Amino acid sequence: MTRNENAEEAIDVLQELGLKEYEAKCFVGLTRVPTGTAKKLSEITDVPRTRIYDAIRVLEAQGLVEIQHSSPQQFRAVPLAEATETLRDQYESRVEQLHDALEAVESVESDAKSSVQEVWTLTGQTAIANRTNELVEDADDEVVLVVGNDELLTDELVEHLNSLPDGVSLAIGAVSGSAQTEIQDAVPEATTFTSGLEWLRSETDAEHDIAVGRLMLIDRSSFLVSSIMPDTHTEQAIFGTGVGNGLVVVARRLMAQGLVPSRDPGQVDG
């Protein structure tokens, strides 16, 4: 990526974080020089000089730029680490504000009935990872997880798995012995096994075959199955709930392949 491409990417991200185009351009421009006047900043950013001052005032109010009231005025960006932390705080504050506002929105309809069986789709690794973490956190009795892609066993997921209460049984399947060893080291309280689902990982044409990413069953009533698309490497998933859901039954039996029956958390003691 060239210097100009990096600058454009930074400008785009700053706009996604709430800055307007000229504000983002001015901030990125100031990161390229120790200090700058409105004239110099206009030259390196292509922002009209008459708009520089408005953009700088906004950036100063947000704690991203400092102003030296000389003649002419000099501007400089705050240190990168400080700017990043300031933007992070502002972003998190807005997310919390959004959460509170959405939580307070009055529902248009009140549905007292809860669906016995539901199947939904999710797209994107971040969204699926968040749903996975939420499922683990809400587990009451049992978590069964088969990891088809080692990269999906993130530090955050490991933290959630290690935080399960003592009463929740945990079994994690891997597609290879080496992966099983790594999982056992990362989650020592889990029952680990090498899954009998060899088709989780294609050995013939991995570049073009759809690979299964993760399979998860929670309390024998909720399941999540994801796949990795070969062209875009995008993760897609289906998520289902319901004790009587046929997909849950199939998922439970499939996921237990490779797990010693006596250690299968889904088996009822006789």
The residues spanned by each domain of the chain are: 3-103, 118-263
Is 3-103 a domain of CATH 3.60.15.10? Answer: no
pLDDT recorded at residue 252 = 66
Residue 142: pLDDT over 50: yes
What is the per-residue pLDDT across 152-171, written as a single tens digit (0 to 9) for each?
899 999 999 999 998 999 99
DSSP conformation letters of the chain: --HHHHHHHHHHHHHHTT--HHHHHHHHHHTTSS-B-HHHHHHHH---HHHHHHHHHHHHHTTSEEEE-SSS-EEEEPPHHHHHHHHHHHHHHHHHHHHHHHHHSPPS-------SSEEEEEESHHHHHHHHHHHHHH-SSEEEEEESSGGGS-HHHHHHHHT--TTSEEEEEESSHHHHHHHHHHSTTSEEEE-S-GGGS-SS-TTTS-EEEEEEEETTTEEEEEEE-TTT--EEEEEEE-TT-HHHHHHHHHHTTTS-GGG-TTSPP-
Q: What is the mean pLDDT of residues 112-127?
A: 74
pLDDT recorded at residue 48 = 95
What is the per-residue pLDDT across 9-26, written as a single tens digit (0 to 9) for each?
999 999 998 899 999 999
C-beta of residue 229 within 8 angstroms of C-beta of residue 236: yes
**CB-based contacts of 103: which residues, under 8 Å, 6+ apart?**
none
What is the per-residue pLDDT across 21-54, written as a single tens digit (0 to 9) for each?
999 999 999 999 999 999 999 999 999 999 999 9
Pick the CATH number of 118-263 from 3.30.870.10, 3.40.50.20, 3.30.70.600, 3.20.20.105: 3.30.870.10
What is the per-residue pLDDT across 229-270, written as a single tens digit (0 to 9) for each?
878 888 999 888 875 666 666 666 666 665 555 555 555 444
pLDDT recorded at residue 170 = 93
